[in-house]
Amino acid sequence: MSESANSSSTLEKHPWPDARGRYGDYGGKYVPETLSYALEQLEEAYAKSKTDEAFQKRLAWLNQHYVGRATPLYFAERMTERLGGAKVYFKREDLAHTGAHKINNALGQCLLAKEMGKHRIIAETGAGQHGVATATACALLGLECIVYMGSEDVERQKLNVFRMRLLGATVVSVDSGSKTLKDAINEALRDWVANVNTTHYVLGTVHGPHPFPLICRDFQSIIGREVRCQIMEAEGRLPDTLVACVGGGSNAIGLFFDFIGDEQIEMIGVEAGGTEITPGMHAARFSGGKRGMLQGAMSYVLQDENGQIGSTHSVSAGLDYASVGPEHAYFHDTGRVTYTYASDGEALDGFQQCARLEGIIPALESSHAIAEVLKRAPKMDKDQIIVMNMSGRGDKDVQQAAKFLMPDMIP
């Protein structure tokens, strides 16, 4: 079920990235010189690991016995009935160990770091899911772990901070800039520049300088490969539509990638629409951003007319980021993936409906994808199929959601 080769038609029709780490005009390696060598090293080590049988075997074993893969593909029967249109399936990444898809990438990269002889791991985190996943992988593999987190997010996600500390990680609160994910990445990059000889940076999404978007895509694309087998088993055919939320874009790439070559399949990426599409009030890069370079990659970036990076807002910390993975920028321009957004309010509505109809409390990030399913499924035929990536569980978000939904409950 989880064979490591991606669909041959995807690889045939989508030969990216090229040798320079480009997806069309996007991607690349825009880093201070000190990091150039580390990126080269990482590229080499990663290429080696792909043909290293022992490495692949260990990863597959851990994916099955530690992460709990394959995660289920679940038919959301009550939601399907309520919406009265397409059959809705959830890919249950929320059931993976640590409660989100982030572990797929964190575990793979930590194994890789160990192969490279780097025993100090750094990571950035927004909502805390990638931080928790990395701290978990480090505990498992006996690696030192330092997680950078914006001080505002530390405040918003106290529970995850505690989890990371419990797992033995050091959480560094970042007070610079907007004190959120973007600033945590800046600080992680600064650490990496200083300690590159001993340290591997486990970047948590399909962003950053090449080869990070490639490595993260490869570790996440197990999601789509499993879905292919699972939907064939359940329905005897491929889905019509795939839906996933897009922050940096790793869970979306993870679901989409194996199906890129299946051109009849429609793919929808859902960004954070925040409160409205005006500067500072959202994180919908394809609606309010333009071509730019942030944190190592050419992509779409929310910025002002002078190239200063814009501030962002979303009810979901994991989608609250000013840029997006370069491969998504490419898919946007070619039209292979359609990008839309859901507002804070729509996401909160999806959050509640999913809880009540299916008994699943989704992450606020995934709730953006649910919001799109709620709009789209009723307009589709009953014999059509939507697969939505339930990228994470919502336990971490109940406090944040309660502030909006049941303010009397919060002391």
Partner 1 sequence: MNRIEARFEQLKQRGETAFIPFITAGDPDLAASEQVVLALAEAGADVIEFGVPFSDPVGDGPVIQEASMRALKHGITLKDVLGSVKRVREQSDVPILLFSYYNPILAYGVEQLAADMADAGADGLLCVDLPPEEGAEYKAALDAHGLCTVFLTAPTTTDARLAVVSERCTGFVYYVSQMGVTGERASVVADLEQQVSRIKRLTAKPVAVGFGISTPEHARHVAGIADGVVVGSALVRFIGAHGSDADLARQVHDFAKPLADAAKGR
Q: Is 346 a catalytic residue?
A: no
Of 64 and 176, nearer to partner 1 (C-beta) is 176
Which residues ranging from 1 to 60 are in contact with partner 1 (CB under 8 A)? 20, 28-38, 40
Q: What are phi and psi of 406, to 5 degrees?
A: -135, 65
Which residues ranging from 51 to 110 are in contact with partner 1 (CB under 8 A)? none
Using the rule CB under 8 A, is 189 a contact of partner 1? yes
Of 203 and 387, nearer to partner 1 (C-beta) is 203
Q: Which of 4, 64, 197, 334 binds partner 1 (CB under 8 A)?
A: 197
Q: Which of 293, 336, 375, 384 binds partner 1 (CB under 8 A)?
A: 293
Among the residue ranges 64-72, 136-144, 190-198, 246-254, the one whose residues contact partner 1 (CB under 8 A): 190-198
Minimum distance between the CB of residue 68 and partner 1, rounded to whole angstroms?
36
Q: Which of 301, 317, 354, 364 binds partner 1 (CB under 8 A)?
A: 301
Using the rule CB under 8 A, is 223 a contact of partner 1? no
Q: What is the Cα–Cα distance from 372 to 375, expressed in whole angstroms?
A: 5
> Of these residues, 102, 118, 182, 396, which one is catalytic?
102
The first and second tokens of residue 257, run together, are 């990638």
Q: Is 114 a catalytic residue?
A: no
Of 21 and 362, nearer to partner 1 (C-beta) is 21
Minimum distance between the CB of residue 204 and partner 1, rounded to whole angstroms?
16
Minimum distance between the CB of residue 205 and partner 1, rounded to whole angstroms?
17
Minimum distance between the CB of residue 298 and partner 1, rounded to whole angstroms?
8
Among the residue ranges 48-56, 78-86, 257-265, 285-293, the one whose residues contact partner 1 (CB under 8 A): 285-293
Using the rule CB under 8 A, is 279 a contact of partner 1? no
Using the rule CB under 8 A, is 305 a contact of partner 1? yes
Q: Is 124 a catalytic residue?
A: yes
Q: Which of 6, 105, 186, 391 binds partner 1 (CB under 8 A)?
A: 186
Assign 3-class secondary structure to the chain: CCCCCCCHHHHHHCCCCCCCCEECCEECCCCCHHHHHHHHHHHHHHHHHHHCHHHHHHHHHHHHHHHCCCCCEEECHHHHHHHCCCEEEEEEHHHCHHHECHHHHHHHHHHHHHHCCCCEEEEEECCCHHHHHHHHHHHHHCCEEEEEEEHHHHHHCHHHHHHHHHCCCEEEEECCCCCCHHHHHHHHHHHHHHHCCCEEECCCCCCCCCCHHHHHHHHHCHHHHHHHHHHHHHHCCCCCEEEEECCCCHHHHHHHHHHCCCCCCEEEEEEEEECCCCCCCCECHHHHCEEEEECCEEEEECECCCCCECCCCCCCHHHCCCECCHHHHHHHHHCCCEEEEEEHHHHHHHHHHHHHHHCCCECHHHHHHHHHHHHHHHHCCCCCEEEEEECEECHHHHHHHHHHHCHHHCC
Q: Which of 50, 165, 291, 403 binds partner 1 (CB under 8 A)?
A: 291
Using the rule CB under 8 A, is 361 a contact of partner 1? no
- CB contact at 8 A, 322 and 310: yes
Using the rule CB under 8 A, is 196 a contact of partner 1? yes
Of 194 and 232, nearer to partner 1 (C-beta) is 194
Using the rule CB under 8 A, is 177 a contact of partner 1? yes
> Of these residues, 91, 358, 391, 396, which one is catalytic?
391
Using the rule CB under 8 A, is 194 a contact of partner 1? yes
Q: Which residue has the tokens 């809880």?
A: 355
The first and second tokens of residue 329, run together, are 């920028």
Q: Which residues bind partner 1 (CB under 8 A)?
A: 20, 28-38, 40, 176-177, 182-183, 186, 189-190, 193-197, 291-296, 301, 303, 305-309
Catalytic residue set: 102, 124, 391
